[in-house]
Every structure is written in C-alpha cells, then in structure tokens.
C-alpha cells in the first residue's frame, strides 16, 4: 500500500488549463473521492496518477517514488472504469486472471488468486460464465475482482457505478466501501454524484474549474461549506441560498428577516440554510414568510417549496404535514445551522464570536 501526493500539479491542453496548481496528499489506505461537475478536472487528476496523462508541471508521487514519467504498467495501480472493459470471448475466470497471465504468474498461483478475488465479490459460482450472461452489477464485480487480483498499491475508480440502475448503485456502494475497508488499499474514486461521495469517502475533494474548492470529511464539507459552489453542490436538495443584506445583526431580503448574534459586519450577503434545518410554522411567528409553491412526498418526509420574495426556499417537513399549494406559511431556521456567504467572493463568512452568545 502507499500514499499518493500531488504537489503544484498543473495540466494544460494547448491554451486550455484543465488543472491549476493542484496540491493533494492522500494517506496510505485512505478512500478519497474527487467530486465535481463534468469538466472540473477530476478525471484528468486521476488519469495523471494512473500515468495515462502526464502533468504539464508539478510532481506526482506514489509512496516516496516520483512517477511523473513512469509508464502506467510500472506504477502498480489498478483501474476500474465506468465501462467495464471485459473481454467478451473470455469467461469470468479468464477475465479476472488476465492481468496475472500478462505478468507471467504461474497457473497454480494464478488460479488461487483468482478464486480469492472472486470470493471477495461473491462471484465464485459464476467463474465459467461469459460477460454476456451476467447482469450489470455482476459485470462490475468482475471488473473489481480483476483490479483486486493484482494486489496494487492504489485503486483508481472512474465513475464505476454510473451505468447501474439506482437500486443496484446503492447495493454496490455498500460492497465497494466494505471491500476497500477490508483490503485497506489507497483508493481514489471519481464521481459527479454527491451521494456516492458522501457515503463512500474518508475525505472528499470538491472540484470546480480545475481547482479544489474544499477538501475535508463528508461531515465537514456538509456542515461548513467553504463557498457558494460547495454549498449548492452538496446536499439533496442542496442548500437554500437567499441573497440579501445584513444590517445591525439581522439578515433581510423580501419577506425574509433572520436575526443572529453571530452575524458580523453590515453589508450584502447570501443566507444559506439546508432544508432539514428549517421548520414549517405559522407565518405569524416566523422570520421567513411565503406561499407554498410545491409539496413533494419523498416517503419519510415532505419537501415543501415556498415562494418568498424573489427566492424559492425548500424545507423538509414531517410526513404528517398536510399543507397545500397556495397556503401561506412561515419558515423558522435553526439558528445553530445558519450560514452566511459573501456576495462578491462567494466565500463563507466565519461567524463573529460574541461572548456569552449561542455561537454555532
């Protein structure tokens, strides 16, 4: 096993900069997820670690070894792709064994290692089948087993669950997380799905426009997003973001008035509140007032979209809540869970600490 370190790494394609001065240290045995929208640089980062792309500048190390110009086959990494990349004419056993065969591993050792890898992903009874005889989830397990059998220093996974249906993705997430924990192999996982990132990662690097916007544990990036991009990208539904201004410790916008002792200097700002941190109440006792725009039952709760001023605010109400479209309602945010962002920079404004006040 090994750590992975990227220092001042940049990648340019002609005049286009895909990555700019990326610094990232991934611990031995850590599960790190690169998360972001298409074109943010996450796959380019992973491909440079794999050796499929070379950095324009900077250093990439696997363990203590500088690998900038080392060929992919010599880096001791194993990749799992979105498309399974199985050989259709080979059986499951032959597909799993192929990396060992290429490396000249003897038949007896090869068979034992294939059986062990197949058992880890519950493919033992399917070794004689061809890929066309397998479901999507089973094919992805073959791809995982083919990576496992090499016992690499680093696993690289490029959106491996994207081709699976929603129910199977949930199952495979649990299997990948358990497997990585069992094997203890350093893993870099690329996805645009924030649910995958939050459920799988030890740490998440949220990326946009070739830069890391925030690096932290899932709880850290969810509870204290560094900027507006992270706040709006993480969460389902994402954080409500209401433009307005702070004056005398009170944030105000049309039909919105929220007072908090931690609000700092007066000026324009954007109030951030997650749907689960808002209570739907009587409009007479709330700082946010509006009319119900939509109600969506998700099973365990109702998502209530409220039109207030020029903003739409989503609150997560109980399943028993029985309001209707057009009703006038109030929204009361949890004061300990309010965020404020700078309108110009988009950065989260750290709360002013007031002695004796209930700081969040």
Mean pLDDT over 95-99 rounds to 92
Taking only the tens place, the pLDDT of each residue in 195-236 is 999 999 999 999 999 999 999 999 999 999 999 999 999 998
pTM for the predicted model, two decimal places? 0.88
Domain spans in the chain, listed from the N-terminal domain onward: 4-228, 239-342
Q: How confident is the model at residue 262 (pLDDT cuts 50, 70, 90)?
A: confident
Mean pLDDT over 300-322 rounds to 94
| C-beta of residue 26 within 8 angstroms of C-beta of residue 202 | no
For 163, the 3-state DSSP assignment is coil
The count of other CB atoms within 10 Å of the CB of residue 344 is 9
Taking only the tens place, the pLDDT of each residue in 229-240 is 999 999 989 999
Q: How confident is the model at residue 102 (pLDDT cuts 50, 70, 90)?
A: confident
Question: SS3 letters for 110-137?
Answer: HHHHHHHHHHHCCCHHHCCCCHHHCCHH
User: What is the C-alpha separation between 33 and 46, in angstroms, rounded?
Assistant: 10
Q: Give me the chain's average pLDDT, please.
A: 91
Mean pLDDT over 94-123 rounds to 90
Q: How confident is the model at residue 266 (pLDDT cuts 50, 70, 90)?
A: confident
| C-beta of residue 348 within 8 angstroms of C-beta of residue 224 | yes
Q: Given this structure, which CATH class describes domain 4-228?
A: alpha beta
252 has a pLDDT exceeding 80: yes
Q: Tell me what pLDDT residue 189 has.
A: 96
Q: How much of the chain, in percent, has pLDDT values that exceed 70?
A: 97
User: What is the C-alpha separation between 245 and 253, in angstroms, rounded?
Assistant: 7
111 has a pLDDT exceeding 60: yes
Q: Considering only CA atoms, which of 121, 92, 93 is closest in space to residue 107?
A: 93
Q: How confident is the model at residue 192 (pLDDT cuts 50, 70, 90)?
A: very high
Q: Tell me what pLDDT residue 351 has.
A: 62
**β-bridge pairing 154-158 and 77-80:** parallel
For 174, the 3-state DSSP assignment is helix
355 has a pLDDT exceeding 70: no
**pLDDT, greater one: 337 or 357:** 337
Between the alpha carbon of residue 337 and those of residues 104, 247, 256, 275, 351, the distances in Å are: 58, 20, 16, 11, 11
46 has a pLDDT exceeding 90: yes
Q: Which two tokens stand for residue 360?
A: 């969040």
Q: Tell me what pLDDT residue 352 has.
A: 53
Q: Tell me what pLDDT residue 326 has.
A: 96
Beta bridge partners of 199: none
350 has a pLDDT exceeding 80: no
Mean pLDDT over 148-175 rounds to 87
The label of the residue with tokens 């032959």 reads 94
Q: How confident is the model at residue 242 (pLDDT cuts 50, 70, 90)?
A: very high
Superfamily of domain 239-342: Nucleic acid-binding proteins (2.40.50.140)
User: What is the C-alpha separation between 305 and 301, in angstroms, rounded?
Assistant: 13
Largest CA distance in the chain: 78
CATH topology of 4-228 equal to that of 239-342? no
Q: Tell me what pLDDT residue 359 has.
A: 43
Residue 359 carries which DSSP code?
-
Taking only the tens place, the pLDDT of each residue in 16-32 is 999 999 999 999 999 99
Q: Tell me what pLDDT residue 286 has.
A: 86
| C-beta of residue 132 within 8 angstroms of C-beta of residue 88 | yes
């Amino acid at each position: 096993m090994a750590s992975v370190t990227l220092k001042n790494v940049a990648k340019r394609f002609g005049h286009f900069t895909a990555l700019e001065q990326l610094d990232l240290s991934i611990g031995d045995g850590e599960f790190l997820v690169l998360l972001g929208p298409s074109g943010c640089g996450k796959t380019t980062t992973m491909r440079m670690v794999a050796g499929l792309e070379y950095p324009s500048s900077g250093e990439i190390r696997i363990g203590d070894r500088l690998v900038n110009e080392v060929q992919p086959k010599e880096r001791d990494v194993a990749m799992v792709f979105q498309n399974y990349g199985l050989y259709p004419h080979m059986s499951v056993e032959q597909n799993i064994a192929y990396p060992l065969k290429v490396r000249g591993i003897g038949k007896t050792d090869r068979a034992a290692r294939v059986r062990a890898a197949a058992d880890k992903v519950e493919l033992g009874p399917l070794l004689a089948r061809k890929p066309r005889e397998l479901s999507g989830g089973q094919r992805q397990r073959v791809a995982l087993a083919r990576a496992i059998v090499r016992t690499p220093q680093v696993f690289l996974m490029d959106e491996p669950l994207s081709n699976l249906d929603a129910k199977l993705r949930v199952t495979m997430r649990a299997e990948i997380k358990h497997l990585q924990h069992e094997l203890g192999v350093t893993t870099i996982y690329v996805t645009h799905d924030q649910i995958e990132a939050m459920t799988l990662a030890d740490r998440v690097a949220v990326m946009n426009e070739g830069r890391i916007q925030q690096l932290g544990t899932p709880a850290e990036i969810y509870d204290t997003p560094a900027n507006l991009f992270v706040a709006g990208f993480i969460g389902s539904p994402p954080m409500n973001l209401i433009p307005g201004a702070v004056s005398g410790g009170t944030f105000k916008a049309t039909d919105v008035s929220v007072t908090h002792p931690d609000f700092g200097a007066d000026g324009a700002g954007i109030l951030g509140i997650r749907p689960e941190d808002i209570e739907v109440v009587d409009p007479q006792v709330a700082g946010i007032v509006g009319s119900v725009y939509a109600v969506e039952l998700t099973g365990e709760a109702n998502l209530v979209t409220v039109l207030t001023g020029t903003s739409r605010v989503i609150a997560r109400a109980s399943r028993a809540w029985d309001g209707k479209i057009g009703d006038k309602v109030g929204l009361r945010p949890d004061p300990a869970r309010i965020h404020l962002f700078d309108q110009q920079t988009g950065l989260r404004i750290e709360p002013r600490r007031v002695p004796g006040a209930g700081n969040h």
